[in-house]
Structure 1
């Protein structure tokens, strides 16, 4: 069977087109990679200034500027890799400024977008803090319980979450639930550095319950 080969000119054109496509793809990848590096550098620059104002001695106007910078870069680059961590720091700045609902919104973004399980757990805990600051005990209880289902006795947040949960349970008029939470801490983390504190809280609640 005779096979008709394409003329040389056609092969050259096809080859040139192939090279052009490869060059365009390589150029596109290089542009994307360079753009990602620029965005990452911009986030790093802003985050450096944010960390610098986290000291209690930092002026309020410096914290306000850092908060504004974070809000701006998150708005400009909402799909960037560092969004979760940046949103968490934005939540912290808003929380420090007593902006409870905006802080919670930032923590929600961190919870959804952060790559680090630690940051996600901290964000969920901080959502509880924001509800607690607004004295919404029911929502705070739900938030702390959600964290409690994710962390175990060996996790660094375990003690803090159990104490926070017991605290808002008591504030929300559920002393029996608070007692159960403290007892759970003693049972699940008997070597915790806060064991004695938990025992004191149980004694206090028991004395109150007997009155």
Structure 2
């Protein structure tokens, strides 16, 4: 096990970031790592030859690794959250989940069902029973697998007791617009990004 842990640390140490227009971006990483995505506090890479990913935090957010580890330990037995394998100073190693984000589904015209909305409600409700505060639930953090299961893939901010209405607002949009005949089959990325930007600007205290 010590060898595996050392390998994960080596992969994490291979990742470096730089700041472009106020945003952290990956500058370099080990050639065997393939990037899966990047968020406000970290970048996620697929590890080679195993169904795991390594989430490496940007320098100002390295302390979040331990907090997210604690959050995962509280909900480790729930099927809609990723399994946790390792934690380091600036990284965590998680289960690799193959699927499409809700953002990708809207863009590609893949239907999001009412049952999948209820799955998210149930998973967030479970987190609350474990003493967590579900937060930062948006289209990029909801992954839908080929068998229709919704997996929540970022719980770094679940320890923040500040109320977050993002999921409630997304759900309201689902009922008010998505299920209506006028809603487009495929939604352009630029439109979703514009709506998200307006939302953050108009409601800075709701996420």
Where relative contact order (Cα < 8 A, 6+ residues apart) is larger, the structure is 2
Max Rg structure: 1
Q: Give the TM-score normalised by structure 1.
A: 0.34
Q: Give the TM-score normalised by structure 2.
A: 0.35
The structure richer in strand per residue is: 2
